[in-house]
Structure formats: C-alpha cells, structure tokens
Amino acid sequence: MSELRIAVAVVTMGNRPAEVDALLESVAKQDLAPDRIVVVGNGCPLPEFAERLSLPGEFTSLELDDNLGCPGGRNAALERLRAFGDVDVVVELDDDGLLVDADVLRRVRDLFAADDRLGIVGFRIADEHGETQQRHVPRIGKSDPLRGGYVTGFLGGGHALRTAMLDRTGNWPAEFFFAHEETDLAWRAVDAGWRILYAPELLLQHPKTSPARHAIYYRVNARNRVWLTRRRLPLPLIPVHLGIWVLLTLARTRSLGGLRAWFGGFLEGLRESAGERRPMRWRTVWQLSRLGRPPVI
C-alpha cells in the first residue's frame, strides 16, 4: 500500500484568531507535513492564513454562511477534502488547541499504517500545566490519562479519522450541533468493525474548560443523549440508559436552572425526531462492555 496521506481540519467561529494562528504554526512545525489543510469559518469570515503563515501542503479555507455547530462544521471540512479524493486520514483539531510535539502527525500516520482496522485515534488533551481533566479520559472512573489502549470513544478536541471508515459509517450527526456527536460516531464505527485507539503520546495542549460554559449546554446535552439512544441502542437498552442518566443528573447537578434546562432538553429529545435509527448489534453491546464501557453508562 502507498504511504497514507494526512489532512488537518480546523473549525473556528472567528473569535480566537491568535489561537488559530498558533495552532496552524504548530501544524507547520510538524516533522511530517500534512498533504492538505482546511480551515472552516463556521458562520464567520476568515483571514488570509496562507499569506501570513508558512503553511505546508495544499491549504484551503471555507467560509460557511451559518454556524452549523461542531459536527456540521467538521462535515463541511470533510466534504471539501472528499472533493480532492486523495486523503486517507483526517486529523481534526480544536481551534484553541496546540500541538506541542513536532512528531504528532508522523505518529498518527504510523498508527494507521500498522492497523488496517484502526478507524479512530484519540489524542490526550492536557492544559498548559500538563493536567488532563478526568472528563477527557475515555474510560469510566479515575483512569490514568497516560494509559493508552483500545477504548469505546474519543475526544472531539483532538483526534484522527480514517476516511475509509467514514465512507462506511457516514459523517458526523450535524443535527446534534454539539454534545454526544463523538459517541454517535464512535458507536457506529465499532458496530462496523473498526477499532478506536486512545494514544496519550499524541498530545493536544488545550485550555482547561467546563462544558457547562455554553449557555445551551444543559438543554442540548439532554436532548442529544435521548437522540443518541433512540438512534443507536437496541430497544431494551433505551430506558435503562436514560434512567441511569436521569439519576446521575439529579445527583450531580447543583443548579435548579440547569436541571430545568436539562429536563426541558430531555423532553425535547423525546418529542422531536432523532433522525435515522440504526441500532447497534448485540455483539457490539458486548464488545463495548468488554472494553470497559457498556453503552448504558
């Protein structure tokens, strides 16, 4: 097989110009140059990056008229790359992330080249002090963020996707806007026979954040969880999954406003169409459970 061709995709809303510059500069310093770079302005204009920065490979910018959310913006980047037809792996990076090490893209290429069934590689995300938030570790409980291996999910902030897998599973669920889109794609990938690898040696530096910083977090998080279960789980597991998360939400959420928004989103997810229903096989349920995360938790 010929050498895998790597692309880098970044989606931005235009409110972090200095961070995007720093991210692209860290891409330019990689010891394996990407074959293509695409930056998507998610409902915003973009500056002339290529004229200001010495970017490797073929550079493309794409300005969307509306903010399509994280998954919608990533889909736009993927569609632009598909039009070229010469990319095997797409590395997607948050616009406020930074590749600290210069060998990240080379390591990504080598991981995919060594395993034909590897569909997704998740990066380790750590702040400027080297700390990884527990929610960024794709395992249940207080797991060591430096322990790699096969997992059931991945982090949206920094990851790599094999395009052959996307051809089989389909794109990101754009209607989610944000929250749980990674789980939807991960479950489809595992159900189609692909592996997901958490590779902590691939570091993306990223500021420490809370998902609740978004005003619509509680509502969208609940709505998308209901949609996720309706789309992907066998019928007997849907009430189990949702029941567990109702109890967890009641135990964890300290804000009455947050609880009202969450249950409003929960009802919205039940009332509104979840889109396609393609439930995973029971064999996939067992496989996810063996990897440490049954799809009810």
Task: Give kind and range of the element (H or E) at residue 162.
Answer: strand 158-162
Q: Closest Cα partner for 58 from 34, 83, 26?
A: 34
Q: How many CB atoms lie within 10 A of CB 213?
A: 7
Please tell me the distance from the alpha carbon of residue 16 to that of residue 199, in angstroms, as a whole number: 27
Q: Closest Cα partner for 185 from 264, 103, 119, 116?
A: 119
Please tell me the distance from the alpha carbon of residue 56 to that of residue 9, in angstroms, as a whole number: 13
Please tell me the distance from the alpha carbon of residue 251 to that of residue 17, in angstroms, as a whole number: 39
The pLDDT value recorded for residue 209 is 74
Please tell me the distance from the alpha carbon of residue 237 to that of residue 201, in angstroms, as a whole number: 35
Residues whose CB is less than 8 angstroms from the CB of residue 217 and which lie 6 or more positions away in sequence, other chains included: 179, 211
DSSP state of 260: H
Measure the CA angle with vertex 99, ends 66 and 14; round to 5°.
20
Q: Are 224 and 269 in contact (CB under 8 A)?
A: yes
Per-residue model confidence as pLDDT tens for the chain (297 residues): 469 999 999 999 999 999 999 999 999 999 999 999 999 999 999 988 766 788 888 999 999 999 999 999 999 999 999 999 889 999 999 999 999 999 999 999 999 999 999 999 999 999 999 999 888 899 988 889 999 999 999 999 999 999 999 999 999 999 999 999 999 999 999 999 999 999 999 999 999 876 655 558 899 999 999 999 999 999 999 999 999 999 999 998 888 999 999 999 999 999 999 999 999 999 999 999 999 999 998
Q: Kindly give the residue spans of alpha helices, DSSP state H, lying in 170-207.
A: 181-191
Residue type, 51: E
Please tell me the distance from the alpha carbon of residue 21 to that of residue 109, in angstroms, as a whole number: 24
What the chain holds in terms of domains, given with CATH numbers, is 6-209 (3.90.550.10), 212-280 (no CATH)
In this prediction the pTM is 0.94
* The total number of residues written for the chain in this structure: 297
Residues whose CB is less than 8 angstroms from the CB of residue 231 and which lie 6 or more positions away in sequence, other chains included: 173, 184, 274, 275, 276, 277, 278, 279
Tell me the CA distances in angstroms from 130 to 25, 200, 205, one per residue in order.
20, 12, 8
